[in-house]
Amino acid sequence: MFKTLLSRPFAPWFSAALGCALGFGFLRGESIGQEPFDFAHKVLPVLKKHCAECHTGDQKKGGLSLNSRESMLAGGESGAEVLSKDRSTSELLTRVTTKDPDLRMPPEGPGLSAVEIAAIEQWVRAGLPWEQGFSFGAQGYEPPLLPRRPELPAPSSPDRTHPIDRILDADRAARSLAPLGSIKDEVFIRRLYLDLIGLLPTPEQTQAFLADPTADKRVKLIRSLLDRDIEYTEHWLTFWNDQLRNDYSGTGFITGGRTQISKWLYEALINNKPYDAMARELIAPLSGESAGFANGIRWRGEVSAGQTVEIQFAQSLGQAFLGINLKCASCHDSFIDRWTLKDAYGLAAVYSNSPLQIHRCDKPIGQTASPGWLFEELGKIDAQAAQPERLKQLASLMTHPQNGRFSRTIVNRFWHRLMGYGIVHPTDAMQSQPWNEDLLDHLAVDFVDHGYNLKELLFTIASSEAYRAESERLEERESTVAYAYQGPRARRMTAEQFVDAVWQLTGSAPSKFDAPIQRGKPIEIDAAQPKATDPQGVWIWSDTARSPSVPPAGEKIALRETFTLDALPNQAFGVITCDNEYRLWINDRLIAQDKAWETLESFDAIAALRVGQNVILVEAINGGNGPNPAALYFEMKLIDPRGTVSIASSDRWKYTASALDAQGKFAEGVNDWKNAVVANGPWGGRLKNEIAMGLARGPLDGPMVRASLIKADPLMRSLGRPNRDQIVSMRPTELTTLEAMDLSNGQTLADWLERGAVLWNARRASAQTGDAAAAAGASRELIDRIYMHALSRHPRTEEIATIEEWIGPTLEVTELEDILWSVVMLPEFQYVR
Amino acid sequence: MMHPYEFDPDAPRSHARRDFLKQLSIAATATLGLSSPRLVHALSDGTQILHPKAKADAIIVLWMGGGMGAPDTFDPKHYEPFEVGKPVAQVVSTFPSIPTAVDNIRISEGLENVAKVMDRATLIRSHVQPDLGSILHSRHQYHWHTGYVPPQTVACPHLGAWVAKVLGPNNPVIPPFINIGQRLEGVGEQEELKAFTTAGFFGSEYAPMNLPFPEEAALSVRPPKGMELARFQNRHRFYRKLADSHPERDSMSDFHRDSMIRSMEGAYRLLESKEREAFDINLEPKESYEKYDTGRFGRGCLLARRLVEAGARYVEVTTEYVPFLHWDTHADGHTTLRRMKSEIDRPIAQLILDLESRGLLDRTLVVLASEFSRDMIMEGQPGSNAADQAEKVDKMTEMKHYGLHRHFTAGSSVVMWGGGVKKGFLYGKTAPERPCIAVENPIGVTDLHATLLTALGISPKTVFDVERRPFYVTEDGKGQARMDLFGS
């Protein structure tokens, strides 16, 4: 019994903590099983009240310290405490119950109450169980707040001068660990591509890199990848969406309780906005576009006090920017770290628009929270200021150059992404001790020195010798010994990386995406400088839009414009959108269609144009349940050396109410064409910039659409893309059986591979006319290319032998499909090594 | 190589469980690195939280998604037929009651077959839900399925994931948590449904295997479309050869490699195993198939029975929640319920009889439940300020006014069969007149879960350490099983 209770591995203290967290009070008696002794609630208050002053911390009156169970059992000058369930032999019990004033504890005051004595007696009977890890003594590690510039150790050799290597080489030398070997170029290029832009290098890119004889080719490669803005942005979008719980669908959107920050985030990344500026705009939004993070998710109905949007604000800020968990403290003073209910509510009150009642465990305690923040050493929030001003103050305090915890948190997250293991790990536990303080502190000050430049941070890490070291050889999942740097730890591809890589190999990427963004760098529109690409169109509709009339719901019209070309232009691209729904044909070819007027579609029409007469035809439908505004915007730019011509929606366009069929044809001749009407509505203001930018950006020739721009589908969900209802800092590191099933027989992946096999087969087709030897050669070349693209290496002899045994004399398309499957199922493929 | 689901069923129970945990955790507890959830009790002697002795090895939850009105199903009240001009205040039930195999239990017309198996059932009429203000179905469903009211600071695991995590599979090749009948794409509130149809912080090893269409379930355990078994086996054989013929294994930890290949093997085993036939309801003899074939739910019940026979652990079959459809009657409730009852009546009764005749009912707990009840007039519960969501009329003028069109959270019915619960037993009571609130033995989600978990041999205090905080299977670990529901 004694042993059982003593080794009781779960903590009633913590149970109570959670009891509060969920707002339903304390632990009650159990219906089944044995109730563990509740040290935290029964005994701890008694010890604190009557004994702590003289027997805890540095105080050891009479030689007795109650700091820990061990020190208590060791006893003091009058001897050790006896472990016995018999109360008569317990020194402790004797001292608190005796009538002898010389012996009684505490010596002053009325002593323990009957209830308190009963608690001590039960405690003695239970074998004096203690709270695991609890001590009255000095508290554990407290991370420093201020930045620190560590002195760098001398380089271990002249070619290892990178600050990271100076620190880590010294670290390894101190642990008597041998230097680590470097990886080959072919491993490096794959690792770097996947880490920085989330894509596989193509065989050509790999070959070019391998063939480059220059000494600084690795550094050049890092720079060139970081310069690939679109790919960089669309890879890191995954990390930031997780971190800022942003997504294109999810809980809360249905009731309008949540907004996206996608557009803002995309632009911040593509412009490499400094991280401190990003944080400021997330905390104190300059516009609605970055407000979704601070505003959180508002569920319909009533929520517990620990989950209001104000408290979410405190929790999200703490977790995302500081790696501090305020979830405990949102409900009661935390038992596991130093954060208190007031800390959490102070932060929440900065955001709150009205006085915020502090609730402890979902019950109001009759106090109003005062706006404040966690590190007032750096400055205080003016509690009297209005909310926008308070947020601004908070934003500036959070990003204060002296807030070392802010910079340490982000550099640690990036280190974790590239090196597989945080300097503080897990990355949300920033209250705990790093395995190398100098490394963390150096990276943090260096990051601030470089103006919070995220790309520079990546450059710094990736250009170290440490980054190009061989991967750590992990024999078990979690080592029981303390972490020591043994090279980067291999990381499983994220769901998005895997999907992107398969799309690269199979040409299966979709052409449309869900993120409400314009790909590429936003273009500054200078209204004072008219350009040929400036928009010239107007929003148009039918007669029903002629004021004061309002178009009825469900109105369906066809709009037409014709123009004549004497020669084909070099380029023809444009933008279109319609409130609410449209399909666009140019010369009978379906060019675009969509149902969301808030997003603009860009299109390339060059292939549809012809010399002579050209016809633009749009089917446009109004939505809604009653009369509501409706309008179409279309504009196409034709560019050739002679100049730029605009074809844009205007009141010269014609419309008819006659219906079009699915192919964009009228059932019979139309003879009621009428002139379109310029429509008034909110669209112009909302989409003015988008249209201008869409036209200024030029024809679409963008890189592959990426998985990060697509709503989570069942495959990505299965592979670990989270529901972004909560902040996620670290994805699952291993493949599970259910995931393996989706990969083994799921239709989504099977379809991509099938398409990919056809594509690869077509590339080989030209060589298939020859004899058997030529065919075998062509197959071998194909396999070689697949390996080069997927794994950045040639297949080895035994792998070629296995595949040849498999396929026999001829390589069938189905076999090609199965080979592709096998390659993408290799651990070597699915890990960034 | 150890299959991740594999453990020795003959080993003493506690031992088997520990081994199982050790193995299962290979793929799963690692998923979040050091922040992964850690079972707090299973240390050296593991005696701290006493798991009760299991009464059932498997559980089937029959989910009446959308809010099943108790007065028109398992808790009939005063019946008023439809009449033009009749004040709605007079109507409590829209169906007359019928007798059952148990003298003191009457249920609603339309459930004649279920009535015949009520002598094997415990009927709870006093299930209650918290007042969350304005009603959102998926929020109450989240609560019912995870034990926690959203939003929460961590992703809460579904009840099925808890069962899968703590008990593991009955049969190593049958996934321990199977969810039948609910589409998660293309339906309203789909994101909210996904939010709880998940293993949450346990990671995807314990996630549900979702089978929205029972008749297509076989496809999900077959090789991909168009791939015959021989090709599938061949593919796997050469895949293994390629994966193994990597002599230097350069820049790859054995651990990562082995863990991934183990999962691939696990998937392959199921896709190739004989047990996968359990997923194919078309293999059921015609006569038996027809008994279940009332619709998707009925076929789902058949699939559930086949899966439990093959060793499934937690199976949920839903009538499917789609806003404003099925049990979610905002109008025309009476007519809709006639159809709903005809869809569930025969298959549920048949499921109970089949389990019984196969000797499985004693060790299988079947639970029929819904996120709340419904009422003709009252939204939420007395004192709630939930906003009304259905058309309000004082007098019925058309048939569409006749039905329980409001969401009622103060008294719903739960039926349990098998798994050690009492037979022909009635527990709890609601008021005879509106508001029909639970007036005897009210039981919330927390205690209801504690009761189900206790039947399965899982302590309601089972706790994992998540982000350095304890997270219990029942809220706060305070769930208390209603032990008086068990016995003969």
For residue A687, give the nearest of A601, A756, A624 by alpha carbon: A601
* pLDDT recorded at residue A725: 87
* pLDDT recorded at residue A87: 67
For A129, half-sphere exposure in the C-beta direction (CA atoms, 13 angstrom radius) is 28
Residues 6+ apart with CB under 8 A from A58: none
* pLDDT recorded at residue A663: 86
Residue B358 DSSP label: T
Q: How far is A5 from chain B (nearest CA, A)?
A: 8
For residue A406, give the nearest of A260, A277, A309 by alpha carbon: A277
Torsion sign, CA atoms A667, A673, A675, A679: negative
Q: Nearest Cβ partner of B191 from A249, A746, A805?
A: A249
Comparing alpha-carbon positions, the chain A residue that sits nearest to B218 is A745
* pLDDT recorded at residue A82: 63
Comparing alpha-carbon positions, the chain B residue that sits nearest to A181 is B251
CB B319 within 8 A of CB B326: yes
Q: Is residue B7 part of a domain?
A: no
Query: Across the interface, do A300 and B260 touch by the CB < 8 Å criterion?
Result: no
Q: Nearest Cβ partner of A826 from B5, B242, B253?
A: B242
Structure tokens at B81: 């037929």
* pLDDT recorded at residue B182: 96
Residues 6+ apart with CB under 8 A from B7: B16, B19, B20, B23, B168, B172
Q: How confident is the model at residue A19 (pLDDT cuts 50, 70, 90)?
A: very low
Q: How confident is the model at residue A36 (pLDDT cuts 50, 70, 90)?
A: low
pTM over 0.90? The answer is no
Residue B153, CA distances (Å) to A11, A305, A678 in order: 21, 12, 50
Element (H, E) at B137: helix B137-146
Most confident range (mean pLDDT) of A210-224, A697-711, B238-252 is: A210-224
Within 8 A of B386 by CB-CB distance, chain A residues are 301
Q: What is the dihedral of CA A313, A316, A321, A326, to 10 degrees?
A: 100
Res. A7: pLDDT tops 50: no
Structure tokens at A645: 């011509």
For residue A443, give the nearest of A205, A165, A64, A656 by alpha carbon: A165
Res. A677: pLDDT tops 90: yes
Angle at B479 between CA B476 and CA B483, to 5 degrees: 165
Residues 6+ apart with CB under 8 A from A554: A621, A622, A623, A624
Say whether the peptide bond before residue B151 is cis (omega within 30 degrees of 0): yes
Interface test with B, best of A249, A308, A735, A822 (most B CBs within 10 A): A735
For A93, half-sphere exposure in the C-beta direction (CA atoms, 13 angstrom radius) is 22
d(CA A705, CA A247): 16
What 3-state class would DSSP assign to B106?
strand
d(CA A39, CA A48): 12
Number of other residues whose CB lies within 10 A of the CB of residue A686: 11
pLDDT > 70: percent of chain A: 90
Q: Is residue B307 part of a domain?
A: yes
Residue A392, CA distances (Å) to A260, A342, A380 in order: 21, 21, 12
* pLDDT recorded at residue B12: 30
What 3-state class would DSSP assign to A444?
helix
Comparing alpha-carbon positions, the chain A residue that sits nearest to B461 is A30
What 3-state class would DSSP assign to A571?
strand
Tokens 């933008």 belong to which residue? A575
d(CA A303, CA A331): 13
Q: Is residue B302 part of a domain?
A: yes
For residue A731, give the nearest of A492, A499, A501 by alpha carbon: A492
Res. A16: pLDDT tops 60: no
Q: Could you tell me the residue range of the domain that residue B265 belongs to?
A: 13-485
* pLDDT recorded at residue A336: 67
Element (H, E) at B177: strand B177-180
In total, how many domains does chain B have? 1
Res. A417: pLDDT tops 50: yes
Query: Across the interface, do A250 and B191 touch by the CB < 8 Å criterion?
Result: yes
d(CA A204, CA A785): 10
Bridge-based pairing of strands A601-604 and A571-579 is: antiparallel
Q: How confident is the model at residue A3 (pLDDT cuts 50, 70, 90)?
A: very low
Residue B118, CA distances (Å) to B37, B60, B341, B353, B370 in order: 41, 17, 15, 11, 18
d(CA B73, CA A622): 43
Mean pLDDT value across residues A684-709: 81
| Least confident interval from A348-352, A685-689, B417-421 | A685-689
Where do runs of H (alpha helix) occur along A51-129? Answer: 52-55, 69-74, 91-97, 114-125
Structure tokens at A759: 């594509």
Longest dimension (CA), chain B: 85
Q: How confident is the model at residue A95 (pLDDT cuts 50, 70, 90)?
A: confident
Say whether the peptide bond before residue B435 is cis (omega within 30 degrees of 0): yes
- Of A627 and B6, the one with more pLDDT: A627
* pLDDT recorded at residue A138: 57
Query: Across the interface, do B31 and A732 touch by the CB < 8 Å criterion?
Result: yes
Residues 6+ apart with CB under 8 A from A8: A36, A37, A129, A132, B48
Mean pLDDT value across residues A144-170: 96
Within 8 A of A739 by CB-CB distance, chain B residues are 204, 263
CB B130 within 8 A of CB B452: no
What 3-state class would DSSP assign to A4?
helix
d(CA A387, CA A353): 6
- Of A636 and A136, the one with more pLDDT: A636
Within 8 A of B189 by CB-CB distance, chain A residues are 254
Q: How far is A63 from chain B (nearest CA, A)?
A: 34
- Of A685 and B63, the one with more pLDDT: B63
Bridge-based pairing of strands B58-63 and B364-369 is: parallel
- What value does the mean pLDDT of chain A take? 87
Residues 6+ apart with CB under 8 A from A74: A80, A81
Read off the amino acid at residue A325. N
- The ipTM assigned to this model is 0.74
CB B132 within 8 A of CB B373: no
Q: Is residue B390 part of a domain?
A: yes
Structure tokens at A286: 């300059």
Tokens 């199979």 belong to which residue? A506
Domains within chain A, CATH numbers bracketed: 2-125 (no CATH), 140-244+405-476+483-512+704-733 (no CATH), 302-398 (no CATH), 540-697 (2.60.120.260), 737-832 (no CATH)
d(CA A757, CA A743): 17
Within 8 A of A480 by CB-CB distance, chain B residues are none
Residue A226, CA distances (Å) to A231, A270, B79 in order: 9, 10, 73
CB A137 within 8 A of CB A60: no
Number of other residues whose CB lies within 10 A of the CB of residue A479: 12
CB B326 within 8 A of CB B340: yes
Expressed in angstroms, the distance from the first to the final Cα of chain A is: 50
Query: Across the interface, do B483 and A31 touch by the CB < 8 Å criterion?
Result: yes
For residue B373, give the nearest of B128, B117, B192, B33 by alpha carbon: B128
Torsion sign, CA atoms B114, B115, B121, B125: positive
Structure tokens at B101: 């195999």
Number of other residues whose CB lies within 10 A of the CB of residue A325: 23
* pLDDT recorded at residue A55: 83
Q: Is residue B4 part of a domain?
A: no
Residues 6+ apart with CB under 8 A from B47: A4
Taking chain B (488 residues) in consecutive chunks of 10 residues, what is each chunk's mean pLDDT? 31 31 35 49 45 94 98 97 95 98 97 98 98 91 96 91 94 93 88 91 87 93 89 95 72 75 88 91 97 97 97 97 94 96 98 98 98 96 88 92 96 97 97 96 98 96 82 92 93
Size of interface A-B (CB pairs under 8 A): 322
Number of other residues whose CB lies within 10 A of the CB of residue A604: 17
CB A107 within 8 A of CB A96: no
Q: How far is B259 from chain A (nearest CA, A)?
A: 7
Residues 6+ apart with CB under 8 A from A516: A248, A260, A262, A263, A598, A599
CB A423 within 8 A of CB A435: yes
Q: How far is CA B302 from the centre of its chain?
A: 15
Comparing alpha-carbon positions, the chain B residue that sits nearest to A747 is B224
Residue A754, CA distances (Å) to A744, A805, A811, B222 in order: 13, 22, 14, 17
What 3-state class would DSSP assign to B164?
helix
Interface test with B, best of A336, A477, A717, A730 (most B CBs within 10 A): A477
Residue A722 DSSP label: P
Within 8 A of A25 by CB-CB distance, chain B residues are 476
Q: Nearest Cβ partner of A251 from B192, B207, B483?
A: B192
Q: How far is B443 from chain A (nearest CA, A)?
A: 15
For residue A723, give the nearest of A297, A209, A134, A166 by alpha carbon: A297
What 3-state class would DSSP assign to A619?
strand
The domain that contains B432 carries what CATH number? Answer: 3.40.720.10
CB A816 within 8 A of CB A803: no
For residue B355, give the nearest of B25, B21, B8, B62 by alpha carbon: B62
Say whether the peptide bond before residue B382 is cis (omega within 30 degrees of 0): no
